[in-house]
Amino acid sequence: MSEHAISVHNIYRSFGALKAVNGVSFDVPHGSVCGFVGANGAGKTTTMRILASLDYPSFGSAEICGINVIHHPEEARRLIGWMPDHFGNYDNMTVLEYLDFYARALGYKGAERRSRIEEVMDFTDLTELSDRLSNKLSKGLTQRLGLGRALLHDPQVLIMDEPAAGLDPKARVELKHLIRVLAEEGKTIFISSHILSELGEMCDSLLFINQGKIVHHGDAETLREGHEQSDAVYYDVKLAHQERTLEDWVVTTPHVELIETRKRGGRILLEQSSPESRAAILAKMVRDGLPVIEFHKEERNLEDAFIDILGNLEEGKEAIPSKAATPPPIPTSTETAV
């Protein structure tokens, strides 16, 4: 078995003058869940399509379980379950017929095909919906059907592009549970999403990409604790009522920044985090007439971490170290590396 389930080495992909992927390198261990995070246009989908052997890089290489997806796409596809952000259904085709169609395309026959479809439908909780038209399902059920299709050939690596987009809270919880079960069975999951809080709960590691480059590769806990490296610290403040708002108070108070306004109170950032300075801030709130009923230290959320990383990049500061190697200059030829 190869050392990593996914290995990407200095991938570049350009569309004319646009560098969609600009020297991306990373590794994902077997049996782990890796979240892929970035703004729209950052290069997420292009990278995932290259991994799924649906696009070619201008330069670089990518491997799935040691198989080069560029040079040996057919072998790599046997190991990959691909779940794109949008996929089509067919009119007048039931859930069972839909999965049966793809099982036949994958080469399953007879009893083995029926058994495999039953296993997938049972896992995705679609058995009772076998006679439902596949193009008449809700968003959550459609995503489950797409997951079932991706799992038919029992792939080792599952690549999922924005699978939680548009799902209601119940469907997101169900999807998160299925992903963790798959990881416990030893499958490797590579998943992109804009819902960073959920990625933090389900992923073993997070990759941040910005303008085609990896700017962070690490676990969620490291990101949440990143602000502890400085004096600044976040606090959640709840007020009994809003006769005087937290926003008004912050405007007149030095060394305090309002991060988020809530129905009663909000999140603030204290520039100094010593016990004495925190006590002084709380005492000032009380003296100034704020009806404080809760005041507690809060972890930095992943959205804050992502914004901080992008802010540091804009200011020319070094990003959180990633595992990316220093990329070579992009060649003028379209040959890919071996």
Quote the pLDDT of residue 326: 42
Kindly report, residue by residue over 27-47, the tens digit of the pLDDT.
999 999 999 988 888 899 999
Cα atoms found within 13 Å of the Cα of residue 95, Cβ hemisphere only: 25
User: Percentage of the chain surpassing pLDDT 90?
Assistant: 56
Assign 3-class secondary structure to the chain: CCCCCEEEEEEEEEECCEEEEEEEEEEECCCCEEEEECCCCCCHHHHHHHHCCCCCCCEEEEEECCEECCCCHHHHHCCEEEECCCCCCCCCCEHHHHHHHHHHHCCCCHHHHHHHHHHHHHHCCCHHHCCCEHHHCCHHHHHHHHHHHHHCCCCCEEEEECCCCCCCHHHHHHHHHHHHHHHHCCCEEEEECCCHHHHHHHCCEEEEEECCEEEEEECHHHHHCHHHHCCCEEEEEEECCCCCCHHHHHHCCCCEEEEEEECCEEEEEECCCCHHHHHHHHHHHHHCCCCEEEEEEECCCHHHHHHHHHHHHHCCCCCCCCCCCCCCCCCCCCCCCC
Structure tokens at 25: 């390198």
**27, 4 in Cβ contact below 8 A?**
yes
C-alpha to C-alpha distance for 232 and 132, rounded to whole angstroms? 54
Single-letter amino acid, residue 121 = M
Question: b/e per residue, 176-192, with b = 16+ CB within 10 A?
Answer: bebbeebbeeebbbbbb
User: Percentage of the chain surpassing pLDDT 70?
Assistant: 87
Quote the pLDDT of residue 233: 82
Quote the pLDDT of residue 227: 45
C-alpha to C-alpha distance for 225 and 101, rounded to whole angstroms? 48
Mean pLDDT of 46-57: 95
The CA-atom distances, in angstroms, between 188 and each of 4, 50, 81, 92, 151 are 10, 17, 10, 34, 12
Q: Which residue has the higher pLDDT, 32 or 274?
A: 32
Beta strand 292-298 with 233-239: parallel, antiparallel or unpaired? Answer: antiparallel
Mean pLDDT of 245-265: 89
Structure tokens at 134: 């596949």
Mean pLDDT of 115-122: 97
What order do you get walking across the sheet with 233-239 strand by strand? Answer: 256-262, 265-270, 233-239, 292-298
How long, in residues, is the chain?
338
**335, 328 in Cβ contact below 8 A?**
no
pTM attached to this predicted model: 0.76
Worst-scoring range by mean pLDDT, 100-114, 150-164, 316-330?
A: 316-330
Confidence of residue 126 (pLDDT cuts 50, 70, 90): very high
Quote the pLDDT of residue 224: 64
Kindly report, residue by residue over 2-25, the tens digit of the pLDDT.
789 999 999 999 999 999 999 999
Residue with tokens 């990278």: 47
Single-letter amino acid, residue 41 = G
**120, 144 in Cβ contact below 8 A?**
no
Q: Which of 83, 54, 76 is nearest to 160 (CA)?
A: 83
Residue 26: Cβ within 10 Å count: 23
**187, 155 in Cβ contact below 8 A?**
yes
